[in-house]
Amino acid sequence: MCGIVGILSTTKKDTALYIYDALTIIQHRGQDAAGIVTSHKGRFYMRKSNGLVRNAFRAKHMAGLLGDMGIGHVRYPTAGSSSGAEAQPFYVNSPYGIAFAHNGNLTNTKELEKELFEQDLRHINTNSDSEILLNVFAGELAKLEKQRINEKDIFTSITQVHKRVRGAYAAVGMIPGYGIFGFRDPNGIRPLILGKRTTNGGTKYMLASESVALTALGYKVTRDITPGEGVVIDRKGNVFTKQCSDKAQYAPCIFEFVYFARPDSVIDNISVYKSRLRMGEKLAEKIQNEWNEKIDVVIPIPDTSRVAALQLAQKLGVKYSEGLIKNRYIARTFIMPGQKQRKKSVRQKLSAIELEFKGRNVLLVDDSIVRGTTSEQIVKMARDAGAKKVFFASAAPAVRYPNVYGIDMSSEKEFIAHGKTTEQVCEAIGADKLIYQNLEDLIWCVQQGNPDIKTFDNSCFDGKYVTGDIDKNYLQGIEDIRSDTVKQKHQSNESSELICNDVE
């Protein structure tokens, strides 16, 4: 999962500052690397680096990012290395010069890379599927063989992208001297939202992964880009949109609402906050119907589960307490590359307030249970703090299948629920009792925000992939390049390279 931003101003030259602020707001979508590319007088100005936004950009970098339009990206790696070479945005100099940033994951990268080399005569320099997506788009634009382009040409290229590319992708791009553009895959798996800000100094347009990036900076949300749709904003501030796929359907990723998106975001007209409130209500109903346990206090595992836990506690009529305190300077452990690093980070990330646990039957609430690393250690933390009994509730169903659309859940062997019953998972994490949300209830919780959306990508819960092109061979392939073991090898190699560089 990554975060993308594109901004065009009709007058002001301070675009980079707004992109910086927007990336900071959606930092939760990726903490591995950050990048910004701007355009001024037909030239690109780029800065990208590993680390958080605040660490990647200093005053001297911001001063060098000139221009009235630009795009930005925060990276969360799902494949390959976490080196700076794969930080986005990417760019190509032909045709016209194109800068590009992408959120998602393509599912036919091998075929596309072969096509690009043999048919399009284009070179791929990294292991990133984002570079492949950029080159597919650039190759289609080059086929038009025009000295000057317009919005129709860009839409033509996006249409061809949809015909050639499979998987999940929301993208923003920029062509110097012309403007910015964006598009979303035909299933709308990854989000992309358009907004506008008008002041005395002119008009700014923004494309971003989440609405909060817009609203926090004073932009008014115009609307979500629909599945398969393209949008082009030229230098004069003209906005053009077109449906570029004849197979478009809504099937957004339901895990956006469970975990990734901020609660104050609205995606596809669905409030993430209200979705999580309903998750808490449904979970409380299930506990009331299936459990006969005395619960003294409900404690959320911060931060994502707070909304659901609060509503659950109210529904059950049980005390709610912030019994776990989070160190805000530790990254999200779900995103950590490797089990050893996750285990080390949990104790650094959370500490228990003993008074809220001692002698009580505690219900811990989390948004989901993936590898179980965090859950197991927090249950132990609760017992060490004196809890009499420790119950555990997940606002999402059991994660049993890999996610292939841009979330780092690649190997089913790493999922604690793989091949286990609820009782066995409960025993594995050391809880006295465990309850999962029903998938039907989760879908209902999200769908209530926009009943027009009939389908969601629930693949990590039910193993049904909306693109229809995923088989066992593909799943084995992504496990081979995205498992924790592979990531640890990459980390080891990159550490060795750094040591060698330091010696030199």
Residues in the chain: 504
Q: Are 403 and 459 in contact (CB under 8 A)?
A: yes
Q: Are 287 and 313 in contact (CB under 8 A)?
A: no
Q: Are 42 and 235 in contact (CB under 8 A)?
A: no
Catalytic residue among 2, 253, 426, 445: 2
Q: What is the 3-state secondary structure (H, E, C) of 66-106?
A: CCCEEEEEEECCCCCCCCHHHCCCEEECCCCCEEEEEEEEE
Q: Report whether 159 belongs to an annotated binding site.
A: no
Element (H, E) at 19: helix 15-25
Q: Are 112 and 140 in contact (CB under 8 A)?
A: no
pLDDT in tens, 146-187: 999 999 999 999 999 999 999 999 999 999 999 999 999 999
| The residue type at 320 | Y
Q: Do residue 130 and residue 17 come from a single domain? A: yes
Last residue of one domain, picked from the residues 408, 426, 452: 452
303/232 Cα distance (integer angstroms) = 36
Residue with tokens 């061979």: 473
- Band the pLDDT of 85: cuts 50, 70, 90: confident
Mean pLDDT throughout 189-217? 95
* Residue 500 placed within a domain: no
Q: Do residue 331 and residue 420 come from a single domain? A: yes
CATH number of 411's domain: 3.40.50.2020
pLDDT in tens, 407-449: 888 788 899 999 999 999 999 999 999 999 999 999 999 999 9
pLDDT in tens, 120-131: 889 999 999 999
Q: Are 185 and 104 in contact (CB under 8 A)?
A: yes
- Band the pLDDT of 504: cuts 50, 70, 90: very low
DSSP code of 259? I
**Measured at the alpha carbon of residue 73, what is the angle toward residues 69 and 78, in degrees to the nearest 5?**
155
Q: Do residue 228 and residue 370 come from a single domain? A: no
Asked whether the CA dihedral 396, 399, 404, 406 is positive or negative, the reply is: positive
141/154 Cα distance (integer angstroms) = 7
CATH number of 41's domain: 3.60.20.10
Q: What SS3 state is found at 23?
A: helix
161/155 Cα distance (integer angstroms) = 10
* Residue 488 placed within a domain: no
* Residue 15 placed within a domain: yes
* Residue 502 placed within a domain: no
The torsion region of residue 233 among left (phi > 0), alpha (psi -120 to 50) and beta comes to: beta
Q: Do residue 48 and residue 190 come from a single domain? A: yes
Q: Do residue 292 and residue 220 come from a single domain? A: no
pLDDT in tens, 270-316: 999 999 999 999 999 999 999 999 999 999 999 899 999 999 999 99
Q: Report whether 384 belongs to an annotated binding site.
A: no
Least-confidence region, from 28-37, 54-63, 84-93, 445-454: 84-93
Residue with tokens 């025993």: 427
Residue with tokens 């859950």: 375
DSSP code of 133? H
Q: Which residue segment(s) compose the domain that 440 sits in?
A: 274-452
Q: Do residue 206 and residue 294 come from a single domain? A: no
Q: Do residue 186 and residue 64 come from a single domain? A: yes
Q: Do residue 209 and residue 290 come from a single domain? A: no
Element (H, E) at 102: strand 98-106
* Residue 87 placed within a domain: yes
The tally of domains found in the chain comes to 2
Regarding predicted confidence, which is higher, 490 or 464? 464
Q: Do residue 399 and residue 359 come from a single domain? A: yes
* Residue 259 placed within a domain: no
Element (H, E) at 223: strand 220-224
Q: Are 329 and 351 in contact (CB under 8 A)?
A: no
* Residue 339 placed within a domain: yes
Q: Do residue 152 and residue 287 come from a single domain? A: no
Taking CB atoms within 8 Å and a gap of at least 24, the contacts of 247-250 are 247/162, 247/186, 248/186, 248/187, 248/188, 249/186, 249/187, 249/188, 249/455, 250/187, 250/188, 250/226, 250/452, 250/453, 250/454, 250/455
- Band the pLDDT of 497: cuts 50, 70, 90: very low
Q: Are 291 and 298 in contact (CB under 8 A)?
A: no
Last residue of one domain, picked from the residues 208, 233, 249: 249
User: What is the Cα 118 distance to its own chain's centre?
Assistant: 32
240/235 Cα distance (integer angstroms) = 12
Q: Please enumerate in sequence order all residues whose Cβ is within 8 A of that of 419, keeping only pairs 6 or more positions apart, or say none.
A: none
235/213 Cα distance (integer angstroms) = 22
Q: Report whether 304 belongs to an annotated binding site.
A: yes
189/184 Cα distance (integer angstroms) = 8
Q: Are 334 and 303 in contact (CB under 8 A)?
A: no
Q: Do residue 89 and residue 134 come from a single domain? A: yes
Q: Do residue 288 and residue 402 come from a single domain? A: yes
* Residue 110 placed within a domain: yes
Report residue 150 as tokens.
Answer: 């317009």
Last residue of one domain, picked from the residues 213, 233, 249: 249
Q: Tell me, yes or no, if 426 is annotated catalytic.
A: no
418 class by beta-carbon count within 10 Å (0-12 exposed, 13-18 middle, 19+ buried): middle
